[in-house]
Amino acid sequence: MTTPTSYGFCQLCGERIVKTAASRHVKKCLGTRANKDASLSDIMLIRAQSKRSKRYWLYFGVSLHAQLDEMDRALRRLWLECCDHLSEFYRDKKRYTLAKSKTFDEVFHFDDRPIEYIYDYGSSTELTLTHVGEFRAPLSDTIELLARNEAPVWPCGVCGEAAAYVWDTAARDQRPFLCEEHAHLGDGDMMLPVINSPRMGVCGYTG
Ligand SMILES: [Zn+2]
Ligand SMILES: [Zn+2]
Ligand SMILES: [Zn+2]
């Protein structure tokens, strides 16, 4: 049983990278930037990943003083926001809610186990946030996106070509994806665009 290799792109240099090499790569790229910019600070490398599909992942450089609230906003903007649902960060299978005013330093200082995140308690999208490392580097923002997965290609259920639409979860059948040519076989109101996000096909999400 082998997991297919997951690729993504470094947001700093644009290079296509393998997920397993992503942390090493972005650290090196930030090091290159550090040579030109002296304003180094302690940062955390945080990976956000979909619980349902490991093909969806993001690497962030995060200032130790950044609050969970800022990460919430970044995740919504990049991946999740459909209609302003509630969200929550927690640890240990929902036993401990983490206040969004907490800083990343407070969350990971004495406990570097991953934390979990849920967006929307109804049609939930759930993520795991992993503390991958800490080092000194210059960031352009308190939370900076450093790398993200390449858009997965989903085959059309009719012809196998790259799909452009997916059925809304509520209406999913045996062939949830359709290409442009076969889009007419779907029910217009129930078709959503294929988006590079773990929220694709959920709650009218259009990116
Ligand atoms: Zn790079
Ligand atoms: Zn929604
Ligand atoms: Zn097709």
Going by C-alpha positions, the residue among 47, 56, 74, 50 that lies closest to residue 7 is 56
Q: Per residue in 129-186, pLDDT tens?
A: 999 999 999 999 999 999 999 999 999 989 999 999 998 765 555 568 999 999 888 8
Ligand 3 centre distance from Cα of residue 55 (Å): 23
Ligand 2 centre distance from Cα of residue 92 (Å): 26
Q: Domain spanning 7-149: which CATH class is it, in words?
A: alpha beta
Provide the pLDDT confidence category of residue 27 given band limits of 50, 70 and 90: very high
Ligand 2 centre distance from Cα of residue 80 (Å): 9
Range with the largest mean pLDDT of 51-55, 127-131, 134-138, 188-192: 127-131
Provide the pLDDT confidence category of residue 34 given band limits of 50, 70 and 90: confident
Q: Per residue in 88-115, pLDDT tens?
A: 999 987 678 999 999 999 999 999 999 9
Instruction: Count CB neighbours of 99 within 10 A.
Output: 11
d(CA 107, CA 119): 19
Mean pLDDT of the chain: 91
Tokens for 71, please give them: 């990460």
What residues does CATH 3.10.290.30 cover in the chain? 7-149
What pLDDT does residue 190 have? 82
Judged by its nearest atom, the ligand closest to the C-alpha of residue 183 is: 3
Size (the chain), residues? 207
Going by C-alpha positions, the residue among 170, 181, 174 that lies closest to residue 192 is 170
Ligand 1 centre distance from Cα of residue 11 (Å): 7
Residue type, 119: Y
Ligand 3 centre distance from Cα of residue 87 (Å): 36
The sheet with strand 125-137 has its strands ordered as: 16-18, 7-10, 143-149, 57-63, 41-50, 125-137, 115-119, 87-91, 96-98
Percent of the chain beyond pLDDT 70? 94
Ligand 1 centre distance from Cα of residue 134 (Å): 18
How much is the average pLDDT of 23-44? 87
Ligand 3 centre distance from Cα of residue 154 (Å): 11
d(CA 179, CA 160): 8
Q: Does this model's pTM top 0.85?
A: yes
Residue 75 has pLDDT above 60, yes or no: yes
What pLDDT does residue 185 have? 86
Ligand 3 centre distance from Cα of residue 194 (Å): 13
Ligand 1 centre distance from Cα of residue 197 (Å): 21
d(CA 191, CA 24): 39
Which residues lie closer than 8 Å to 162 by C-beta, 6 or more apart? 153, 154, 155, 156, 179
